[in-house]
Amino acid sequence: MKILFLNGPNLNLLGTREPEKYGRMTLAEIEAKVRERAVRLGAEIDFRQSNLEGQLVDWIQQAKDKFQVIVINAAAYTHTSIALRDAIAGVGVPTIEIHLSNVHAREEFRHKSLIAPVCRGQITGFGPLSYLLALEAAVSGN
């Protein structure tokens, strides 16, 4: 099975970005962990990051018929992007929302996810483990 991991804005800065909230692991290190686990689970993954909302929309649209599941850390776009929500709803590829930090334990503007209603579920607050839990969910749920 093929799983597409998408990462939104500022996640390229992981490692040095607000480490007290997001930890010290870089996105490349998280990707390496996901790849290692994916091999064990027999899943094929594609792992991407963009700071651009439109690029993320394009990737979601292109996932149709190519990927069985999308795992997305939409970062700040989680809380603002109707375009991402519509793309997820429009392509119909089962999508899992993830976050490193527990968005519900943070500022009120992070409590609202515009994409949550069109996702299969949300994994939030487990640091890099959120990515691995989503991978497990993706493989088990299909």
Could you list the residues that contact ligand DQA (CB under 6 A)? 10, 73, 75-76, 78, 99-101, 103, 110
Residue with smaller CB distance to ligand DQA, 28 or 39:
28
Shorter beta-carbon distance to ligand DQA: residue 68 or 73: 73
CA distances from 101 to 22, 34, 43, 104, 127 (A): 6, 18, 25, 9, 6
Catalytic residue among 77, 79, 99, 104: 99
Q: How far is CA 139 from CA 36, 39, 43, 129, in A?
A: 14, 12, 7, 15
Answer yes or no: 111 catalytic. Answer: no
Work out how close the CB of 74 gets to ligand DQA at its nearest, in angstroms, rounded to a whole number.
Answer: 7
In what helix (H) or strand (E) does residue 139 lie, and over which residues does it extend?
helix 129-140
Q: Which is closer to ligand DQA, CB of 10 or CB of 94?
A: 10
